[in-house]
Structure 1
Amino acid sequence: MRLRSLFTMHPATTAHLSAVAVSMALSLGTPLAQAAAVTWPSQPQAHLDTLHDRPLTDAQRQLRQARRALTEQPTHLPQALQVAAQALSLAREEGDTRYLAQAQAALAPWWLQADAPPEVRLVRATVRQALHDFDAAHAELHALTQQHPEHTQAWWTLATVRQLTGRYAEARQACDGMQRNGATWQATLCQADLDSFQGRAQEARQSLSRLMWRAPKALLPHLVLVRAELAERLGEQQEAAQLYDTLASIARDPYSEGALADWLLDQGQAQTVWARLQGRTRHDGLLLRLAEAATVLKHPQAPALARQMGERLAAARHRGDSIHWREEARFELRVRKRPQEALRLALVNWGIQKEPIDARLVLEAARAAGRPDAARAVIDFCRQAGWTDVRLGVRT
């Protein structure tokens, strides 16, 4: 299951594509019709040194130092972009959307400029995508790619936004934009990813396998994960197990760890998840999986972890951050065991983003709530699009 609620692609991929501004492309949640908007400070630099509910890491200290340096030259664009990149990286690592406000604050002198430099516009779109304000992100990225068709990262982020919202034909056009730029392996990965959701899953599987020999080594963790998730959807359990084993040995970032934990939990290996995620609870998504593993194991720490996760979700809501629909639905379903509430949240989330994990949450919650018909529209979408996912009972 693609964890695009945290990022549009694996960190190694974005690092290869964009050296400064958007080393991490995110998608963390959004204010749509059903969600309250995130409220940013009226003065972007104000009240942003309050991210101290957990001990500071070296990366957090470095960000604070960079922000202090920026205050001396607030209109120095390279420094501002560096601060924004560091903030986006921390947002990804911590799963904490408050860092998005810091990225915005760093670029405050250019934030409202329609003709801002392309690097600023890409960060601006990334922040909006991270808040699941997909319409605004799409408009920004579409305009950016039309004005700067050579911008590969913008094309890739545009493809991601379109795929996340089920606009597969338009997403393929964005893949073509990368191909025209000569970004062959990126375009191949982009097309194969779409193929896997449009009735060509076996072709995607073969294309991804061939791509392993052509793509940069830095992309290997991302490719392994994409292949593992596809094998899982195809019901190729042995292949998926081998790929997830490989992933476990080469990647420790939250994106990979979350996907690996999901696989292990599905395989009844909650004890492995418990052992692997010790000390990784700074990230909300990993805390959620640890709480889930503890619940399955009936571990003595299960109530405390559930309480901690509930407090984090409540704190996010209190500050106007209403974006963790997927995480809340899963928490209600698998930890709190409240399927009716889980179904409500899962359906709201499905209206925002459409990935296998989102479809699966609706299906599981509907079954647990005794309302299987509530998942009918989701399954119909998957079948009409051409998904193959044995866990959902859909094949092409």
Structure 2
Amino acid sequence: MLATVPAGARKSTTGPRDLQTAVVQASADIESARTSGDPRYLGYAQAALAPWWNAKDAPLPVILLRAQIHQHNHSFEAALADLDHALVLDPRNPQARLTRAAIQQVQGNYTAAAADCRSLALLVEPLVTADCMSRVSSHRGAARGAYRKLLAMRDRAAGMEPRLRREIELTLADISMRIGEIETARLHFDQALTATDADAYTLLTFADFLLEQREYRQVVELFERYPDYADLLLRAALASRAINAANAGQLSQRLREQYAAHQRRGDFVPSRDYARFLLDIEGKASAALDAALFNWKSQREPADALIVVRAAIATGQPAAAAPVVTFVREQGLEDVRLLPLLSHILPERRT
């Protein structure tokens, strides 16, 4: 793992002028953003690539890094355009395939994601391909089979690189949660957390798991251990409210100020977490539904579906969740958190 530069340490946003130095610096910044969850590092990375940022004929390493920055910023169409271009330049580039598959999965384009996963077969080690395919197929009505196949391959693997081990365990944990195998999911989270140093995504998904199990004090303790991870603030605020902690109001106010500051910058886009904030902290169900539906246009993961359905029920407008119902039925999505709610908001199809 590349070293993390302390937040705010940069004195200049002017990037290097030579390509090799710029690529090394931007790569380090993107890794720091992934590890810390601090979006400022993405700005540093973009600054490093400034001489080539808007160039249509940018070198391949720049195109790949630019796509990752767009991906982190949820500018998925821009990321996909860069990745499509990268694969024209280098059809066998595994990073481009992996990143494009991840974005296609987030957007619910599972057929396209599966095609990219299959293209990895001769480019990367088998576990990477298996992890990619398992993520996709587990969202298309084959969750238990995907879990068994990936688990078997993990158990046969020897000398797995720690970062890959973490990714495999997170995939297994996610599938386990969605099929209702809670203690199995917990074991996989434990493995993921010990595979490498803490990173923002692992902490975030683990905190959500603890919230769903109503293990609120553990969420608060997690935030106290990692107070610099911004995305944990929402989870800590929700947990503190649930147990009537003395600092619950203070945490909620920090969230309000955080979102207000983001909105003032002019680049604010409603997200799944913002919809959760509106619904569960502010009690503004109608605004939460608007935010959740806006987010649904570009992100269609199970958690995105869940907040749409919850907000639709809270507003008394179950029909607003119709796009989610259609998507879940068409894909055969399995999720024990979601399906009971869906059965209550719209009638079953008649045959």
Q: Fold conserved (TM > 0.5)?
A: yes
Match of 1:48 in 2: none
Query: Is the 8 Å Cα contact of residues 233 and 255 (structure 2) preserved in structure 1?
Result: yes
Match of 1:225 in 2: 170
Query: Is the 8 Å Cα contact of residues 199 and 385 (structure 1) preserved in structure 2?
Result: yes
The 5 A counterparts of 1:1-396 are 59-60=5-6, 64=10, 74-213=16-155, 214=157, 215-250=160-195, 252-393=198-339
Matched residues in 2 for 1:85 and 1:170: separation? 27
Q: Tell me, what secondary structure is at the counterpart of 2:299?
A: coil
Q: Tell me, what secondary structure is at the counterpart of 1:59?
A: coil
Match of 1:26 in 2: none
Matched residues in 1 for 2:316 and 2:234: separation? 24
TM-score after normalising by structure 2: 0.88
Per-residue Cα deviation, 1:124-148 (whole angstroms, up to 9, x for no partner)? 1112222222222112101211221
Quote the offset at 1:77 in angstroms. 1.7
Per-residue Cα deviation, 1:89-146 (whole angstroms, up to 9, x for no partner)? 3333443434322211111122222222211000111122222222221121012112
Q: Tell me, what secondary structure is at the counterpart of 2:120?
A: helix
Matched residues in 2 for 1:63 and 1:83: separation? 14
Q: Residue type of the partner of 1:163?
A: Q
Q: Tell me, what secondary structure is at the counterpart of 1:277?
A: helix
Q: Which moved more, 1:222-231 or 1:92-101?
A: 92-101
Structure 1 spans left out of the alignment, 5+ residues: 1-14, 16-22, 24-56
Q: Residue type of the partner of 2:166?
A: P
Quote the offset at 1:274 in angstroms. 0.8
Matched residues in 2 for 1:218 and 1:250: separation? 7
Q: Which moved more, 1:79-88 or 1:118-127?
A: 79-88
Count matched residues. Answer: 337
Matched residues in 1 for 2:225 and 2:261: separation? 21
Structure 2 spans left out of the alignment, 5+ residues: 343-351
TM-score after normalising by structure 1: 0.79
Quote the offset at 1:180 in angstroms. 3.1
Q: Residue type of the partner of 1:277?
A: F
Q: Residue type of the partner of 1:361?
A: I
Matched residues in 2 for 1:331 and 1:61: separation? 25
Matched residues in 2 for 1:324 and 1:85: separation? 27
Larger RCO (alpha carbons 8 Å, 6+ apart): 1
Q: Residue type of the partner of 1:236?
A: E
Q: Tell me, what secondary structure is at the counterpart of 1:142?
A: helix
Quote the offset at 1:269 in angstroms. 0.7
Query: Is the 8 Å Cα contact of residues 286 and 311 (structure 2) preserved in structure 1?
Result: yes
Q: Residue type of the partner of 1:363?
A: V
Quote the offset at 1:61 in angstroms. 6.6
Query: Is the 8 Å Cα contact of residues 128 and 137 (structure 1) preserved in structure 2?
Result: yes
Matched residues in 1 for 2:114 and 2:280: separation? 35
Distance 1:132 1:60, change over 3 A: same
Per-residue Cα deviation, 1:135-177 (whole angstroms, up to 9, x for no partner)? 2211210121122123111110011111111111111111122
Q: Residue type of the partner of 2:324?
A: V
Query: Is the 8 Å Cα contact of residues 127 and 154 (structure 2) preserved in structure 1?
Result: no
Query: Is the 8 Å Cα contact of residues 205 and 230 (structure 1) preserved in structure 2?
Result: yes
What RMSD over aligned residues (CA atoms) do the two structures have, in Å?
2.4
Quote the offset at 1:250 in angstroms. 4.3
Matched residues in 1 for 2:223 and 2:195: separation? 16
Query: Is the 8 Å Cα contact of residues 270 and 294 (structure 2) preserved in structure 1?
Result: no
Q: Which moved more, 1:236-245 or 1:190-199?
A: 236-245
